Amino acid sequence: MTRRFAMGPALLFCPGDRPDRFQKAADRADAVILDLEDAVGGESKAAARAAIAAAELDPARTIVRVQSRSSAGFRDDLEAVAASPFRTVMLAKAESADEVDAVAEAIPGVRVVALIETARGVLAAEAIADHGAVVALMWGAEDLVASMGGTSSRGDDGGYRDVAMHARSRVLLAASAFGKTAIDAIRTDIADLDGAHLEALDAAASGFGAKAAIHPNHVEPYRRAFAPTEEQVDEARRILAAAEATPGVFSFEGRMVDEPILRHARSLVERARPRG
C-alpha cells in the first residue's frame, strides 16, 4: 500500500531539549521536526526525550528525529516517542529496511521518514523506500560527504558537488518509484534567503514534496517556491480544460501537449489547493 507524507512544504528542525521553542517552531512552519540527534548534546538527551514525551503539539504536524540504530540511545529514543502522542519518526542515517523494521516494531502504527545521509544509505534507498512503514525519504548532504571522508558538499560557487547531486537524484527517484514523498535537504547558509528560494524552486520543479530548514527565516522562501503562481495555475487549468475537449495529443497556444504535460498541469493544480 502506498503511504505518502502530507506535511509540508516547509519543515523546521527544533532541538528536542528546547521545549520553550516547540510551539514557536510549529507556528512558524508547516511541520516541526523535534530533534533527538545532532541538535542535542549527549548530556541533554534524557531531558530532550522527556520534553518530547510531554509535548502538546499537533501530531499531524510533528515529526521526531531519532538517532541512528547504531547509536547508544536509539532504543531510548524509540521508547520516548512511543510514550508521546507522535507517530511520525525521522530515522537518522537510515541504511537498510531492517532498521525501519526496528522502528516499526517499537512504535505500532509509526510513519517513518527515512533520512538518507550515508553512502550505504544512498545505495539502499530503493529497498528503504519500498518498506511499508516508510512515507518519505529525505537526504542529507553534509553527513553524506562526511561519511565518505569529504570536507564539503558544495563547491566554491555554492552549488552541490556532483556526488551530492547524485545522492539527491537517487533519493528522489527511489521515493517516486515507490509512491513516497521526497524531502530536500536543509540549507546551511541561513542568511542567503535568495539562495534558499532558488534551491527550493528547483526542489519543487524536480518533484520533491517538501524541504527542511534549520532556521525559521527559510520557511517563507520555501513556501513561496513550492506555491505555484496564479499564472502557472491558470495556464494549467486551461490546458486541462482543453484536454477534455481534445482527446489525445493536441496543440495549445503554439506548443504540443501530451500526457506528460497533462501530468505536470495536474501537479500544479494540486499544489495550489489549500492544505488541511
Beta-bridge partner residues of 256: 251
Same domain, 120 and 245: no
Residue 137 domain flag: yes
The whole-number pLDDT of residue 98 equals 98
Distance CA(175)–CA(134), nearest Å, equals 10
Give the model confidence (pLDDT) of 236-247 as tens digits.
888 888 888 887
Residue 227 has pLDDT above 50, yes or no: yes
pTM: 0.85
How far lies 70's CA from each of 67, 95, 102, 233, in Å? Answer: 8, 10, 12, 46
The whole-number pLDDT of residue 4 equals 66
Same domain, 238 and 217: no
Give the model confidence (pLDDT) of 36-48 as tens digits.
998 898 899 999 9
Residue 5 domain flag: no
Bridge-based pairing of strands 134-139 and 111-116 is parallel
Residue 1 has pLDDT above 50, yes or no: no
Distance CA(174)–CA(177), nearest Å, equals 5
Hey, what's the cell of 152?
564539503
Distance CA(34)–CA(159), nearest Å, equals 28
Q: What are phi and psi of 251, to 5 degrees?
A: -100, 135
Same domain, 20 and 131: yes
The whole-number pLDDT of residue 270 equals 79
Of the three residues 226, 248, 264, the one that is the final residue of a domain is 226
In the chain, the percentage of residues whose pLDDT exceeds 90 is 76
Range of the domain at 263: 230-272
Residue 3 domain flag: no
Distance CA(21)–CA(14), nearest Å, equals 7
Q: How many domains does the chain have?
A: 2
